[in-house]
Amino acid sequence: MSENTVIKARSPFAEAFGMFRRNHAAMAGLFMLFLIGGIAIFGPMIYPGNPFDMVWVPFTPPGQEGYLLGTDYLGRDLLSMLIHGARVTLTVGLAAAFVTVTIGITVGAVAGFYRGWVEEILMRLTEFFQVLPTLLFSMVIVALFGASLLMITIAIGLVSWPAVARITRAEFLRIRELEYVKAARAGGVRDNRLIFGVILPNALPPIIVQAALMVGSAILFEAGLSFLGLTDPNVASWGQIIGSNRQYILDASYTVTVPGIAIFITVLAVSLVGDGLNDALNPKLRER
């Protein structure tokens, strides 16, 4: 068997994984995400302590008195807050992305599959949410229903789903006209089976890419809400650290810069992975 035959026999998943692995930027982003995830999971065990304990003099500069990243305006250990906040920030990002994708797939799949008046209503609803100022809308939701992490997650999901819905609808409109879908429908396959068992698995690649990018967007949203004071003050997150120290940005800039750098690195890593997934899951790019 020739080498070309072996290459053609590889599964699409194996080809996509191989292309992703050859993308050095994407692999670097994946490594950073694994590192940040490891800090979120194991960091509190390695560096124990309550992040809200006032341990030393406020505004102790980084590296002094044994505090690697210094202390904030209340004398709390910034390193401890950063480590404990990683778990909350990543959880909010992943949960908000899950809410976003769930709503977006549901709306986009139903609109793209049934078309007609169903599509018209759902897409007008999508356009309504898409033209709303997302940050302002999320602020209103959090202000009305409380600044808990659950409500912040729901608010982010409610303002972010239209992009996923549009991508899902476009894929369903394309795939529903293919021969194997028509054959399944002619064979008496039910609509829910066609939507979730036949069309959706083949529409997942662009949705997966969008979902990965939504994690970074959700982290930025949480940081923005926290900067404006719309967050749970009893939960440590990177956005909460920035929000609680924003008044002292000129006196002790490191209290805002350090968590800001953490957010920047995390969002950059997510973007690199998302770009890598886009290249790997795009069949046109795999053929090049």
| CATH code of the domain containing 99 | 1.10.3720.10
What pLDDT, in 10s, does the model give residues 14-69?
A: 777 778 888 889 899 999 999 999 999 998 888 888 888 888 888 888 888 888 88
- Please, which residues have CB within 8 angstroms of residue 52's CB and are 6 or more apart in sequence? 76, 81, 234, 236
- 60 assigned to some structural domain: no
- pLDDT, residue 230, reads 84
- 240 assigned to some structural domain: no
At 6, the pLDDT band (50, 70, 90 cuts) reads very low
- 58 assigned to some structural domain: no
- 45 assigned to some structural domain: no
Put residue 146 in one of left, alpha, beta given phi > 0 → left and psi -120 to 50 → alpha: left
- 5 assigned to some structural domain: no
> Is 86 a residue whose pLDDT tops 80?
yes
- 177 assigned to some structural domain: yes
- pLDDT, residue 167, reads 92
**Is the separation of the CB atoms in 72 and 78 below 8 Å?**
yes
The range of the structural domain enclosing residue 19 comes to 12-39+88-234+253-286
- pLDDT, residue 147, reads 81
SS3 label, residue 66: coil
**Is the separation of the CB atoms in 129 and 212 below 8 Å?**
no
pTM: 0.85
- 180 assigned to some structural domain: yes
**What domain count does the chain have?**
1
- pLDDT, residue 269, reads 93
Of 65 and 216, the one with more pLDDT: 216
* C-alpha span between 18 and 267 (Å, rounded): 24
**Is the separation of the CB atoms in 84 and 69 below 8 Å?**
no
- 76 assigned to some structural domain: no
